Chain A
Amino acid sequence: MTSLKHGVNLSRRACRPYIKFLAAAAFLAVAVASPIESTTKQSPSITVDGISTYPGLGFGPMGPVAPMPGEPPGTQLRQQQETTTETTTTAKPKKERTFVIAAVEFHRVETPFLIGVWIFFASLAKIGFHMAPKLSKMFPESCLLIFVGVLIGALLLSTHSVHVQPLTPDTFFLYMLPPIILDAGYFMPNRLFFDHLGTILLFAVVGTVFNTLTIGASLWACGQTGMFGCTTPLLDMLLFGALISAVDPVAVLAVFEEIHVDEVLYIVVFGESLLNDAVTVVLYHMFEAYTEMGASRLMYTDFLAGFASFLVVALGGTCIGVIWGFGTGLVTRFTNEVRVIEPIFIFVMAYLAYLNAEMFHMSGILAITFCGITMKNYVEGNISHKSHTTIKYTMKMLSSSSETIIFMFLGVATVNNNHDWNTWFVLLTIVFCSVFRIIGVYIFSAVANKFRLHKLNTVEKFVMSYGGLRGAVAFALVLLIDPEVVKLQPMFVTTTIAVIYFTVFIQGITIKPLVKILNVKTAEKRKPTMNERIHERFMDHLMAGIEDISGKHGNHHMRDKFKRFDNKFIRPFLLRNYQGAEPKILETYSKLAMRDAIEYMQRNASTIGNISGAESMSAIFKNYTNSNFNGRKCFSPSFTQLDSSTWNIDMQELEYNPSKKDLTDARIHHLLAEELCKPYRRHRRLSYSRHAVNDRDLGTQVNYKTHMNIRRLVGDRKHHHKRSKRGKQDGKNHVTFPEFQQNGSAKQFTHGKKKYYRLDYIDEVLQEDEEQPRRENDDGGITFTAKSPGYDEVSPTSSHKENSSSLLNQLANLPGFNPLKARIVKQYAKTPEEILPTAVEKSLPWRRDRSTYNFVPNEDILEEDERRMSDDNDTYMTVAEQARVATPTATETMLPWKREEAEGTTALKQSEFPSWASNKEYLAYSSPSATFLGGIEKPKHPKSIIGLFRRESSSSTQAADLPIASDSEGKADSIKGDSSSMKGESLYSQPKQGPSLLSKRSTSLGGPSVLLMEDVAHSDPLGASSRPASIMQGPHRGQCRRGSMLELTGSLSRDAITEEKCSKSLPESERMGVRRLALGQQSLPREPFNRQLTMASNLLTSSSSDESSDENT
């Protein structure tokens, strides 16, 4: 017993010197860049010198490298070495006097450098395969990598570096394997895994033992016939059987990832390959120890010890993993202040679990697998989305690169002179491996089927047996065998390599077509729908209940029990904000809601202006989802939206007017930003902080203020250039305006008290910045509620926050305000006396703010909390200013360009852009705001003008004389939209009136004409002039809508017709279009909205691990 343990302990992945790897690395370097490196290479004496000079920096393994076995001959080099040796020994005192300006000291960086070179080339090779699609279609990546490895190995061999062995067991087990296994464990579908745990364990434990014994025994039996030409002791054969029988997780992953089989099949094979590690390790060491002890001294207690050791290794490894997993969960609970280091805990603690298990000679693979499985649920609840993404990518990166390197090293290791090829032995091993794998699978799946609901059918059995790939684990284990004890070790190595090649090449290549031929159920990657999520969860509960009733303690029962325990004890302890039961439902909901939102935004960007804020987000999406589900079950939003967005771009360019689409777009963006998805904001901070990622993913946007204001103080002008450049760059997608959002606060500095406010303000902002995180983490709701007073303050003079009529009022009161207006008007309108200019102003709200503070605040309309501050104008302003500092006003958040420009000089001053504008994901659909902002400087764009006006006029005329079928729906929509926006308007113009009443009224409206009247009612002073504009509104929207409909139907003909018609009435329609667009951007009423936002953001904060997939796809 003790001796066995001792043997196990000693031999298990015994530490080997790094020399092998070093040598390999050196030879690679030699092979790759022999001329350069040979000159830079220095003698051992220098190495010693270097190390003594820098005692702590010796890179451990890099110390005096033993004379390289295959040192490139080259007398020149040797001479050089000698000379350097001399100089270093004799001329040491001299050296102290001279100061070396530049020196090459390759050996200091040799090991890491060569490791880097390996990784680099392996990754390059991987890139190469994917550039040759034909190749990668035929062969699995693993094959190609091995092939490349062989090439490199041949190269090394040709440079006489015979003893190169880059793939040492130590590097393999300590560095390369853990990332792969961690990746597998962390992203393991837990439920699937545990559902099939019985089957997996059966295969992993019993199956592996069966394979080991049968393969070993058969080989021994064959050896008795003398066909191998050497003595084959039973124990040696069993040892070999132990290492060769284990299915390799790396190989299985590599192949199964490519064939996308059904998840049950996948989890069974892969789970087996993971869990059989414990068995393999134990069997291996057991037989190794027996071999060392000699068969004669074996006693039955040794076998019992073997069995006990299996339990210890397996359960111990699992326990260590689980404990570390919980530990990770606990640690990440407290990382909310230091988000940057979140990911490292996952990696380091998992790795520690692995090493810890290895330390106690448990199964490291089991430990790290279960560590990943355990930590996942809790970690995901604690970390931020960014950390989640980081973890995901880092893990994938690490695992795929170490997989790459493993296969490559396998190839390299193949080519050496130590092979002991024994044809019969190799052939029989392969045959036995395959045959016993198949037999084992059939036997054990028959057993498993007795207990399984989902019976494994013949095809699945076949794939399971065929997928039993051997790989690098076997190779590393065979290298661990001590040739002194096991004389056949070289033959084993060769045979192992042969078996690996056979499984990886033959089986790996053929499994893909076979899967197709056999029509194996392939996995469908999809995200659960809300219904599925809820109903499946419902079924789980139901089944657990039924099991309880029928008195059976099955899967459901166990799971239910664990879940209850988890929810009651573990989760509250490990999760920072424990959200109660069923986090998955919430998660799915927020995921889906976000997807809806994005799709909605993409598809209906042009029509979304119809949605007034009075409508709730859920209503919006309800409509959308409705249409989505009813209309066409399948559609490709990306294609359809592509069309519409380009179309809209043109329009924007032409009008260079923040048209409805812009406003809409911003509105939607901010809806999304605050409610559903958290677009990835880039927070530029004033000072670069290494220790904190400003991770405000909870929908508040306060932290931009500091930056913004300072920026603002430092200089306004430079953005000018930036923007104009951008405008030239492209009218399309990827214009980046990272600081746009920051506008709002900055612009609050108004004329009179500018300086005073600024100083004050910055202080506040700084304070605010400190306070912010706490608040943010609580929930987004607070912020949102805080917004509404701030909102009112945007235009404190008028009771109607952004109501167009009130704006018109303001503008009417400001006759002298118009230098810009005139300019814009000139560009657009033929008759400046018309209402048009004001409409334009309305549409360019940043010009409004000039007027804003000229008015006496109308205190009636202030919110209560503001009212108490409104003693006089000044104090009011100050307080209001503060209020705004605390939270950007809703308008600002909604419509970034609405933020007042403090100096308020030009429309072009609009110089800072929201960070989301630089987000490519967000801009993927050609955000019109980008185009609008970019295009403002060069408005006329002949082509687009034509295109636009065709459409424009078509839309304007269609109400009168173009009865287009598809328009009917569009019109209906537009009416609805109008009425709802109207609702918003009237809400503000008549604040006392209940919203419900208004909504009734507006919904009862019949059509555009009625709407017109409504509009007129609000826009008192300019009512007459706004009338035509409001008339236009309907058709325009209808037209927008039609645009998207056309995309859907793909019918271009209608479009062409209308275009023709419209091109005639071009100038007129131009004006109309302008007006229409201008009016289209009536703003949203705020309160119902806020409620919605608050709610949804609460939801968002609650579900933490959503979106990640969306982020990444």
Chain B
Amino acid sequence: MGNKSSLLLREEEIAQIQEETGFTPNQIERLYSRFTALDKNDCGTLSREDFLRIPELAINPLSERIVHSFFAESHDDRVNFLQFMRVLSHFRPIRKNRENRLNSRDEKLRFAFSMYDLDNDGKISRDELLAILHMMVGVNISEEQLTSIAERTIIEADTNNDQMISFEEFCRALERTDVEQKMSIRFLN
């Protein structure tokens, strides 16, 4: 499988992806093999089903959102490798002396924010937050509690009293969080 995938990936494609996402060629090839492994239909793109076939991801409470985030740029509900890599590049660790385009703190936060913000209005509403809470916390907690938690959360972050969390407010709320580290994984070389 690995051999096949690396064959399919041409040099200039790698260079282009590297240029865009900052992954090293090695990482790109490795991820490409992963990509093709996920691509059960061998059509060069991934569907939602392909993602959800990953067993661990299937039981991730946020799996739907995570998968959804990969489809942000796609129009036909398929993800090609470049889009796949673009999303993943958000989670590259930040290197001090290199350019961090897609994986800057801001981008990481924006990515997380967009996962909350289903309707893309640039704000997290109470219901959007509640939806996430529902996924994470599960069924054991009553609706009322969750609602009050959501409200409390929004109030806490909300500085302009619109009962929504804008991206700026979101950033401010996470000011003290080590987002750079929390939202990075080490991609194997």
Query: Which residues does A use to contact B, with CB under 8 Å?
Result: 451, 453-454, 524, 526, 529-532, 534-552, 554, 556-557, 560-561, 564, 578-582, 585-586, 589, 592-593, 596, 618, 621-622, 625-626, 629-630, 1095-1096, 1098-1099, 1102
In the docked arrangement, what's the CA distance between A540 and B135, Å?
13
In the complex, what's the smallest C-beta–C-beta distance from B134 to chain A, in angstroms? Answer: 11
Assess whether B173 is in contact with A535, with CB atoms less than 8 Å apart.
yes
In the complex, what's the smallest C-beta–C-beta distance from B140 to chain A, in angstroms? Answer: 3
Assess whether A592 is in contact with B186, with CB atoms less than 8 Å apart.
no
Assess whether B182 is in contact with A550, with CB atoms less than 8 Å apart.
no
Assess whether B156 is in contact with A625, with CB atoms less than 8 Å apart.
yes
Residue-wise interface mask of B (36-57) relative to A, using a CB-CB cutoff of 8 A (1 in contact, 0 not):
0110000000000001001011
Residues of chain A within 8 A (CB-CB) of B70 are 549
Assess whether B173 is in contact with A1095, with CB atoms less than 8 Å apart.
no
Q: Given A524-B176, A536-B177, A618-B151: A530 and B185 within 8 A (CB)?
A: no
The 6 A-B residue pairs whose C-beta atoms are closest, nearest first, are: A580-B140, A531-B173, A545-B66, A551-B34, A548-B56, A548-B57
Residue-wise interface mask of B (114-148) relative to A, using a CB-CB cutoff of 8 A (1 in contact, 0 not):
01100000000000010011001111111011001
Residues of chain B within 8 A (CB-CB) of A532 are 173-174, 176-177
In the docked arrangement, what's the CA distance between A580 and B60, Å?
15
In the complex, what's the smallest C-beta–C-beta distance from B132 to chain A, in angstroms? Answer: 6
Residues of chain B within 8 A (CB-CB) of A629 are 155-156, 158-159
Q: Given A585-B136, A625-B152: A556 and B185 within 8 A (CB)?
A: yes
Q: Is the C-beta of B82 less than 8 angstroms from some C-beta in chain A?
A: no
In the complex, what's the smallest C-beta–C-beta distance from B85 to chain A, in angstroms? Answer: 10
Q: Is the C-beta of B88 less than 8 angstroms from some C-beta in chain A?
A: yes
Q: Is the C-beta of B74 less than 8 angstroms from some C-beta in chain A?
A: no
Smallest CB gap from B172: residue in A: A531
Residues of chain A within 8 A (CB-CB) of B93 are 453
Assess whether B148 is in contact with A542, with CB atoms less than 8 Å apart.
no
Smallest CB gap from B27: residue in A: A550
In the complex, what's the smallest C-beta–C-beta distance from A672 to chain B, in angstroms? Answer: 15
In the complex, what's the smallest C-beta–C-beta distance from A90 to chain B, in angstroms? Answer: 79
In the docked arrangement, what's the CA distance between A907 and B22, Å?
79
Smallest CB gap from A596: residue in B: B152
Q: Is the C-beta of B181 less than 8 angstroms from some C-beta in chain A?
A: yes
Assess whether B152 is in contact with A589, with CB atoms less than 8 Å apart.
yes
In the complex, what's the smallest C-beta–C-beta distance from B29 to chain A, in angstroms? Answer: 13
- Could you list 10 A-B pairs, sorted by A, with CB under 8 Å? A454-B178, A530-B152, A531-B173, A532-B176, A535-B170, A543-B185, A547-B185, A579-B141, A580-B141, A589-B149
Assess whether A582 is in contact with B159, with CB atoms less than 8 Å apart.
no
In the docked arrangement, what's the CA distance between A183 and B137, Å?
31
**Size band of the B side of the interface?**
35 or more
Assess whether B148 is in contact with A1095, with CB atoms less than 8 Å apart.
yes
List residues 51-83 of chain B with CB under 8 A from any CB of chain A: 51, 54, 56-57, 59-63, 65-66, 70
In the docked arrangement, what's the CA distance between A579 and B146, Å?
13
Assess whether A548 is in contact with B60, with CB atoms less than 8 Å apart.
yes
Known: A546-B185, A622-B152, A630-B159. 14 other contacts (CB 8 A): A453-B93, A535-B177, A539-B183, A542-B112, A544-B60, A545-B57, A545-B62, A545-B66, A546-B66, A549-B70, A552-B187, A561-B56, A580-B141, A592-B152
Assess whether A551 is in contact with B136, with CB atoms less than 8 Å apart.
no
Residues of chain A within 8 A (CB-CB) of B157 are 531
Assess whether A535 is in contact with B140, with CB atoms less than 8 Å apart.
no
Assess whether A542 is in contact with B62, with CB atoms less than 8 Å apart.
yes
Q: Is the C-beta of B18 less than 8 angstroms from some C-beta in chain A?
A: no
Assess whether B177 is in contact with A582, with CB atoms less than 8 Å apart.
no
In the docked arrangement, what's the CA distance between A581 and B145, Å?
14
In the complex, what's the smallest C-beta–C-beta distance from A561 to chain B, in angstroms? Answer: 7
Q: Is the C-beta of B164 less than 8 angstroms from some C-beta in chain A?
A: no
In the docked arrangement, what's the CA distance between A398 and B145, Å?
39
In the docked arrangement, what's the CA distance between A367 and B15, Å?
52
In the docked arrangement, what's the CA distance between A531 and B132, Å?
13
Assess whether B140 is in contact with A579, with CB atoms less than 8 Å apart.
yes
Q: Given A618-B148, A618-B152: A560 and B56 within 8 A (CB)?
A: yes
Please tell me which one of the listed residues B61, B173, B176 contacts residue A541 in the complex, with CB atoms under 8 A apart: B61
Assess whether A630 is in contact with B161, with CB atoms less than 8 Å apart.
yes
Residues of chain A within 8 A (CB-CB) of B156 are 529-531, 592, 625, 629
Residues of chain B within 8 A (CB-CB) of A596 are 152
Residues of chain B within 8 A (CB-CB) of A1098 are 142, 145
In the docked arrangement, what's the CA distance between A578 and B63, Å?
24
Q: Given A451-B186, A453-B181: A545 and B63 within 8 A (CB)?
A: yes
Assess whether B136 is in contact with A581, with CB atoms less than 8 Å apart.
yes
Residues of chain B within 8 A (CB-CB) of A534 are 129, 132-133, 136, 149, 153
Smallest CB gap from A592: residue in B: B152
Residues of chain B within 8 A (CB-CB) of A586 are 137, 141, 145, 149
Q: Is the C-beta of B7 less than 8 angstroms from some C-beta in chain A?
A: no
Residues of chain A within 8 A (CB-CB) of B182 are 536, 539-540, 543
In the complex, what's the smallest C-beta–C-beta distance from A485 to chain B, in angstroms? Answer: 49
Assess whether B173 is in contact with A552, with CB atoms less than 8 Å apart.
no
In the docked arrangement, what's the CA distance between A539 and B177, Å?
11
In the docked arrangement, what's the CA distance between A534 and B188, Å?
29
List residues 77-109 of chain B with CB under 8 A from any CB of chain A: 88, 91, 93
Assess whether B173 is in contact with A581, with CB atoms less than 8 Å apart.
no
In the complex, what's the smallest C-beta–C-beta distance from B115 to chain A, in angstroms? Answer: 7
Residues of chain A within 8 A (CB-CB) of B145 are 586, 589, 1095, 1098-1099, 1102
Smallest CB gap from A580: residue in B: B140
Please tell me which one of the listed residues B57, B139, B177, B185 contacts residue A580 in the complex, with CB atoms under 8 A apart: B139
In the docked arrangement, what's the CA distance between A530 and B132, Å?
14
Assess whether B142 is in contact with A1095, with CB atoms less than 8 Å apart.
yes
In the complex, what's the smallest C-beta–C-beta distance from B35 to chain A, in angstroms? Answer: 9
Please tell me which one of the listed residues A551, A560, A585 contacts residue B149 in the complex, with CB atoms under 8 A apart: A585
Residues of chain A within 8 A (CB-CB) of B183 are 539, 542-543
In the docked arrangement, what's the CA distance between A537 and B132, Å?
11
Assess whether B151 is in contact with A622, with CB atoms less than 8 Å apart.
yes
Residues of chain B within 8 A (CB-CB) of A564 are 59
In the docked arrangement, what's the CA distance between A1098 and B187, Å?
43
Q: Is the C-beta of B6 less than 8 angstroms from some C-beta in chain A?
A: no
In the docked arrangement, what's the CA distance between A459 and B23, Å?
29
In the complex, what's the smallest C-beta–C-beta distance from A1064 to chain B, in angstroms? Answer: 41
Q: Is the C-beta of B17 less than 8 angstroms from some C-beta in chain A?
A: no
In the complex, what's the smallest C-beta–C-beta distance from B111 to chain A, in angstroms? Answer: 8
Residues of chain B within 8 A (CB-CB) of A542 are 62, 65-66, 112, 115, 183
In the complex, what's the smallest C-beta–C-beta distance from B15 to chain A, in angstroms? Answer: 21
In the docked arrangement, what's the CA distance between A544 and B56, Å?
9
In the docked arrangement, what's the CA distance between A853 and B184, Å?
70
In the docked arrangement, what's the CA distance between A582 and B174, Å?
19
Assess whether B66 is in contact with A549, with CB atoms less than 8 Å apart.
yes
In the docked arrangement, what's the CA distance between A1048 and B56, Å?
52
In the docked arrangement, what's the CA distance between A71 and B52, Å?
80
Smallest CB gap from B34: residue in A: A551
Q: Is the C-beta of B31 less than 8 angstroms from some C-beta in chain A?
A: yes
In the complex, what's the smallest C-beta–C-beta distance from A677 to chain B, in angstroms? Answer: 15
Residues of chain B within 8 A (CB-CB) of A618 are 148, 151-152
In the docked arrangement, what's the CA distance between A717 and B148, Å?
46
Residues of chain A within 8 A (CB-CB) of B176 are 524, 526, 532
Residues of chain B within 8 A (CB-CB) of A547 are 185
Q: Given A453-B181, A1095-B144, A1095-B148: A585 and B137 within 8 A (CB)?
A: yes
Residues of chain B within 8 A (CB-CB) of A551 are 31, 34, 37
Residues of chain B within 8 A (CB-CB) of A544 are 56, 60
Q: Given A534-B133, A541-B62: A550 and B31 within 8 A (CB)?
A: yes
Assess whether B54 is in contact with A548, with CB atoms less than 8 Å apart.
yes
Please tell me which one of the listed residues B91, B149, B173, B181 contacts residue A529 in the complex, with CB atoms under 8 A apart: B173
In the complex, what's the smallest C-beta–C-beta distance from A1094 to chain B, in angstroms? Answer: 9
The interface centre, meaning the residue of A537, A549, A1099 with most chain B CB atoms within 10 A of its CB, is: A549
Residues of chain A within 8 A (CB-CB) of B141 are 579-580, 586, 1102
Assess whether B186 is in contact with A530, with CB atoms less than 8 Å apart.
no
In the docked arrangement, what's the CA distance between A635 and B116, Å?
31
Residues of chain A within 8 A (CB-CB) of B61 are 541, 581
In the docked arrangement, what's the CA distance between A984 and B51, Å?
54
